[in-house]
Structures are given as structure tokens and as C-alpha cells.
Structure 1
Amino acid sequence: MVIENIEDKDPHIRVALAESFQSPAVAVSIDTGHAHYAHGYTGAPPVDYYVKAAGNFLQHVHLQDADGYADRHWSLGEGSIHWHAVFAALAKLE
């Protein structure tokens, strides 16, 4: 089971929740569009910070681009997510 972000301002909260179960059956998911929306609308950190915060608790990624104003579900490259930073952060995970 993975716990997905919606309008999370602090990406560490979901990681702490997943850790609290002390089970490999509970992990974290990142919806890149939701994270970018939270960054643009609520002042949350950029998407790559969600990846870094999740670390190896990250077991699922919903890739979608957005403009930071709504949950757009655009194809990658159509919005304003900094994909190089996101994929660089993902590359560091085991």
C-alpha cells in the first residue's frame, strides 16, 4: 500500500506516517502534479524535494506535468515541473 500526496505542504509527514507502520507493506507514492500544485499554490517545496524526503520509502510515482495552479494531468514537458531535478533525485534512490 502506498500513501499518496495531495496538497501536502511538508513531504516528510507522509514518510513519517509510512514509517510508523513498521511494515514493508506500507510505502510512499508521489504524484508529481499534486506536488507541483502544492509548490505553486501553498508554498510547499519543489517536486524533487518530495522525492528526496521520501527516499527509499518511495515505491510509486504518478508522473504528470502541471503549471503549479491546478491538477492538470499534462504530458511531461507541457508544464513547468523541473524534470531534470526530479529525475536526478530519483536516480539517487536504491
Structure 2
Amino acid sequence: MTVVAVHGYAGGRVQGVGFRRHARLQAVQLGLCGWVRNCPDGRVEYFLEGDGQALQSMLAWLRSGPAAARVDSLSEQDCLAQGLTDFQVREDAPSGQ
């Protein structure tokens, strides 16, 4: 399996709607590793790594998120895999990021 990785941000109504918790559940179901966290500007930041097809499925899920969310924008950038072994909901990003 070739491991690929993506770093990105989801914008819209993505905080306070269970977005991070549901993203973690979806990622674990797909066998992906990485993390997700809230940003001070209201976006959710994510890092995903794993099988390319699973990653594409996760990106498709991120375009809509859970039922209570409204995703207005999704940006992603390919990056190097970090060799992570699980998927975490991280603490909120510090101000200034």
C-alpha cells in the first residue's frame, strides 16, 4: 500500500457541530491516521495519511461533514506522510495560526 498524506482546512459552520468527533470516526472506519483540530478563525484543520482511495473517500466526506455542519470551503495540500499510527482530535490550535 502506498501511503499518501494531505493537510488542509474546512471552513463554514464546522465548529460546535461535532465535526471533529465525526471526522475521527470516519477516518478510523476508513483506516486513516492523522489528526483534526479547531482553529481560532472558525475553521477546522486536518492532517490525513493512509491509502489513497481511503483518503479520497475521507475528502469526499469532509466536503459535507456531519448533518449539523455546513462546509463552505475545503482546501487541501499534498504533503509528506509522518508515519502516524492513529487518528486524534487535537487541542485547539493556538491563536496566530
**TM-score of the superposed pair, with normalisation by structure 2:** 0.28
More helix by share: 1
| Higher normalized contact order (CA 8 Å, seq sep 6+, divided by chain length) | 2
More strand by share: 2
